[in-house]
Amino acid sequence: MKLVIVGTGYVGLITGACFAEFGYQTICVDKDDDRIDTLKSGKCPFFEPGMDELLSKHLNITKLLSFSSSLKKSMVDADIIFITVGTPSRRLEDDADLSFVWSVANEISENITKYCLIVTKSTVPVGTSKEIKKIISKKISEETFDIVSNPEFLREGSAIDDFMRPDRVVIGTDNKKSEKIMKELYRPLFLRETPIVTSSVETAEIIKYASNSFLATKIGFINEVADLCEAVGANVQDVSRAMGIDQRIGPKFLNVGPGYGGSCFPKDVMAFASTAKKFNVDLSIVNAVHHSNRVRILKTADKIITNTKKRSVLAFLGLSFKPNTDDIRDSTSIKIAVLLNKKGNIINCFDPQAMNNAKQEFKELNYFDTAIEACKNSDAIIIGTEWNEFRALNFIEISKIVNSKKIFDLRNIYDQTELEKLGFEYYGTGK
């Protein structure tokens, strides 16, 4: 099978490289020429563990992977075309901006020469794949193509492993022919006994949003429980642990923090509720989760402001929306750092991977080469993102270079008693 992947963002590039690893001839297409040049030279445009090696292997050794800025040329002889372009929130609106998806659909419709599958891997609201079908069938007969929804569940930071060993693969089709082709495509995963969930196209589209919204709900829920724990002197970490042992609940996504961020949860939660509203369905729980998360970011910043002097120098450790990625899209850490800066504080940051991205967008923050340098002369240290390298900072050394021994551990990665022994004033989350 010859595969074409349209969009070389996190999802497109990882999908392309992993399908090449399965042994398929794969062309990744992007309209961004600079990005394609970077990829052709073997460099990954973002940080993702294992990607440099995978790219180099399939670009230079197996030659199963190639890059192009022409969808028209790449589509010749293609058996499956994946749409993996971005679906961000629309400006000032909650629903998904599908303009990139429509543009790809139009381009595909003008260039199909033989039967192929068009697969939406981008996260799109229910009904989108059917719209794509309408767009394409205006130009080409419906026998020449089929539309499939195959949502992606990978997580940045462990994306390759998630793609190679997914919890499940969801395949939404409207006929047996396309289901058979998709099952053949994912055959390498059968050997690992990966569950394949087949459904209608609409059901597959909803599975993705329902999954992300449910995970966001878990985070929102435990964060509110953390507030109660803090108010009454209980410990949310013990609460999470005891809840998580219950197999009906499970331990994942019960870690408290300053709220969820990233390129998916915030926009997907909003888009899910917004889509439902169009069908006169009130997803009130999902709406409440979104509201709770927005408030949480403000409350976290407030807690820091209330417990530090005016015009403090604040060392901010961790800027990416989670560890092991350089992605800062909708990063909660950055939102809090910017809020603190707006209130007159000086923010001295360090992040192991996300500094370049942050520097380009947030010139008001100061950037340092190491965590220790960022901590120098600070009035308080804030742990924003729980990178492993922040888990064992040398606080004996740090206590000698800070102005004031104070730490806001937004991710609860430190032991309060140990830091208090060293003379630090410790503010955890929900304890």
Q: Which residues participate in catalysis according to the annotation?
A: 264
Where does 343-381 have alpha helices with state H? 355-361, 371-375
Q: Say if CB 100 and CB 86 are below 8 A apart.
A: yes
Q: How many residues bind to ligand NAD according to rule CB under 6 A?
A: 26
Rounded-to-integer distance, Cα 168 and Cα 193, Å: 9
Cβ-contact 6, 83 below 8 angstroms: yes
Residue from 9, 125, 172, 261 touching ligand NAD (CB under 6 A): that is 9
The answer to whether 83 and 104 are in contact (CB under 8 A) is yes
Q: Which stretch binds ligand NAD (CB under 6 A): 24-32, 247-255, 278-286, 289-297?
A: 24-32
The CA R_g of the chain, rounded to the nearest whole Å, is 23
Q: State in angstroms the smallest separation of the CB of 151 from ligand NAD.
A: 7
Q: Is 10 in the site for ligand NAD (CB under 6 A)?
A: yes
Residues 235-264 touching ligand NAD, rule: CB under 6 A, are 263-264
324 binds ligand NAD (CB under 6 A): no
CA distance 125 to 195: 24
Q: Smallest distance from the beta carbon of 83 to ligand NAD, in angstroms?
A: 9
How far is CA 400 from its chain centroid? Answer: 37
Asked if residue 32 binds ligand NAD (CB under 6 A), the reply is yes
Q: Which of 25, 26, 123, 217 binds ligand NAD (CB under 6 A)?
A: 123
Out of 12, 166, 220, 259, the only residue in the binding site for ligand NAD (CB under 6 A) is 12
Q: Note whether 261 and 337 are within 8 A (CB).
A: no
Cα distance between residue 221 and residue 214, in whole Å: 10
CB of 156 or CB of 351, closer to ligand NAD: 156
Q: If binding is defined by CB under 6 A, does position 322 make contact with ligand NAD?
A: no
Nearer to ligand NAD, 8 or 312 (CB): 8
Report if residue 108 touches ligand NAD, rule: CB under 6 A. no
What is the maximum alpha-carbon separation in the chain?
74
The stretch near ligand NAD (CB under 6 A) out of 97-105, 133-141, 198-206, 291-299 is: 97-105
Among 48, 146, 156, 330, binds ligand NAD (CB under 6 A): 156
**What's the rounded Cα separation, in Å, for the pair 383 and 386?**
7
Does 8 interact with ligand NAD (rule: CB under 6 A)? yes
Rounded least distance, CB 136 to ligand NAD, Å: 14
Of the candidate spans 84-92, 348-356, 379-387, 398-406, the one that interacts with ligand NAD by CB under 6 A turns out to be: 84-92
- Asked if 195 and 167 touch (Cβ cutoff 8 Å), the reply is yes
Measured CA angle at 379 (ends 374, 384), to 5 deg: 55
Please report the DSSP string for 287-311 in residue order.
HHHHHHHHHHHHHHHHHHHHTS-TT
For residue 154, state whether it binds ligand NAD (rule: CB under 6 A): yes
Pick between residue 87 and residue 345 the one whose CB is nearest to ligand NAD: 87
Q: What are phi and psi of 116, to 5 degrees?
A: -155, 165
* 30 is an interface residue for ligand NAD by CB under 6 A: yes
Whichever of 135 and 234 has its CB closer to ligand NAD, that residue is: 135
The stretch near ligand NAD (CB under 6 A) out of 31-39, 193-201, 248-256, 395-403 is 31-39
- Under rule CB under 6 A, residue 170 binds ligand NAD: no
125 binds ligand NAD (CB under 6 A): no
Coil, helix or strand at residue 6: strand
Here the tokens at position 197 are 């969930």
Give the position of tokens 């209980």. Answer: 234
Whether 299 and 131 have beta carbons less than 8 Å apart is answered as no
Binding site for ligand NAD (CB under 6 A): 6-12, 29-32, 35, 84-87, 100, 103-104, 122-123, 152, 154, 156, 263-264
